[in-house]
Every structure is written in structure tokens, then in C-alpha cells.
Homo-oligomer: A and B are copies of this chain.
Amino acid sequence: MAGAIGYLGPKGTFTKIAVDSMFNGEVKKSYKTIPECVDAIQDEEVEYAVLPLENTIEGTVNITLDYLIQAKEVKIVSEVIVPIRQHLMVHKDNVKSWKELDVVYSHAHAIAQCHTFLHDEFKNVEPQTMTSTGAAAEFVSKHPELNIGAIANHLAAEAYELAIVKKDIHDFSNNHTRFVVLHKKDIPLTSTRLEAKGNKTTLIITLPSDNPGTLHQVLAAFAWRKLNLSKIESRPMKTGLGNYYFLIDIEAKMDDILIPNAIAEMESLGCQVSVLGSYPYYLYNGNGVTLTV
């Protein structure tokens, strides 16, 4: 299906917020797992796919990255950062009795993120876990006869016509989820709806041996070129414990000189370097853009 957008479903999740903030009017196709979504891009079932890369509620970073490294022809062409905001919501019939809820449903991670609120306001209510925040909202929408609530995002409230009775109940503000847009061609995707915050280039660097000096030299290649890094993360190789590769985000667009020269220098030290993408990044904070659910 040409032109379709794949994403990690179901509706009402944070991934759906990300996909709706970047795409408007296209056919959107939900997949149950991250690998199915990567396959869909490779097999050209969809033209773009949106997946969580960091800090998400329902997905895991590691799975996206594992499959992305395997799928060499798939590139990151854009990124959207979505603040994680959790709200308490109930069926519209039960707005008046929300303080006496019998059960609160949500994904386990969302329940954990709202620990202080639940501890202070619903100490005697046993939270029940569901497979996603969207599934929790759906369950609440189907049971107006029960005095129950869900913890989920604002899109889930809209999708399932629930009333938000308490906003922003998460313990730590400024938690964000990073979503990447994947595509088979290495062409940056610019948003017509969100304002670009800057550009990033993501590299995977494998060091020649488990040597702290080499990492230090690698970082020197960026430091003296004043290439700012917005992320560095070591991750275990699939070959066993004790071997690592590095995931590095440079706060710059791929250019003709600085980044290629830094890569050439790292390669001369015996590193293997691959570029996962060079792309603009966006922040969707819920202001100014109306999402189509």
C-alpha cells in the first residue's frame, strides 16, 4: 500500500499521538509489534513507520533498535518528541463520583509513573494493569455501570469519549518519549505542522576492543570539531556480555566535511561506524495542532 503510515497500535497510545502529530490525512495502519512494523517498511506495505525509540510506556527502545540495526535499508528520516502526560479519566456518566472510584486501570508503567498521586489520593484502591493505556481507556468506556477510571493520555480520552477528571497526575514532569519516523529512502522528512527544533545525526559506533581509551579518542573526534552530542549510550553487543557498541546522537545535520571526517577518523582507529539517519526533530506539546484521531 503506497503512501500508508505504519505504527505501533492500538489507538489511544502515545505512539498514536506521535503519528497523528506528523501525519494528517494519510492512511494509517496499526501493527501489534515493533518487528512487524519494521517488516512492513521493508516489504513496502507502508511508506513510513513511526516507532518509539526512547522512554516509552508501551514499547521498548531495545526492540526498535535491535531490529533497526538489522534492517540496513531502513533509515530514520524524522523524529518527534512527545511529553508523557498522564491523566485520570472516567466514563462521562461517572464524572460526579470520580473520587470514590473502585478500580483504576492502566498499563503497569503508567501506574508506576503516577505512584505518588495514587498513593495520596487513592490509597485504598487497588490499581489493575492492562496491556496498554489505550486498552484501559477502552475498557472504562465499555463499562459505564462500574465506577472505574483509567490512567491514559488525552488522545485516549478523546478516542473513547471519556472525561478527564484530573490532569497531569504523573510523578515527574518533563518525561518525554522519542519517536522516530522510518523510511526506505534516506531523505529527511520535514513536518508542515510542527516547528523543527534542530537536526540530529544518529551513529552506531563499534569500538575495536573493550578499551576505555578508544572511547575517549572517539569523543575527542567530536569535541574538537565542536559537534555537540545530545545522547551517548553504550549497549551490549549480541555476541555476549562485555562487548559494547555506542549509540550517539550528534546535534547537527549530515554535512560534507565535519561529520564525514569524524567518521573517517574513527574508522582509522579501527571503529565500525554506521549512520542510522540524519533528520530534523520536532516537539509536539499539544499546542496549536489538532490531531485527527
Residues of A near any B CB (own CB < 8 A): 32-36, 55, 58, 60, 62-63, 66-67, 81, 108-109, 111-113, 115-116, 127, 129-132, 171-176, 197, 210-213, 215-216, 219-220, 222-223, 226-234, 236-242, 244, 246, 283
Contacts and interface: CB of A to CB of B under 8 A. Distances in A.
Given A108-B33, A213-B223, A234 B231 contact: yes
B131 A130 contact: yes
A104 to B, nearest CB: 12
Contacts of A220: 216
Copies of this protein chain in the complex: 2
A66 B113 CA distance: 10
Which 6 A-B pairs give the minimum distances between C-beta atoms?
Answer: A35-B115, A33-B112, A216-B223, A129-B131, A233-B233, A216-B219
A72 B108 CA distance: 24
A41 to B, nearest CB: 14
B230 A60 contact: no
Nearest to A222: B212
A267 to B, nearest CB: 19
A227 to B, nearest CB: 7
Contacts of A129: 32, 131
10 contacts: A33-B108, A34-B112, A66-B172, A67-B115, A172-B238, A174-B239, A212-B226, A216-B216, A230-B244, A232-B246
B212 A228 contact: yes
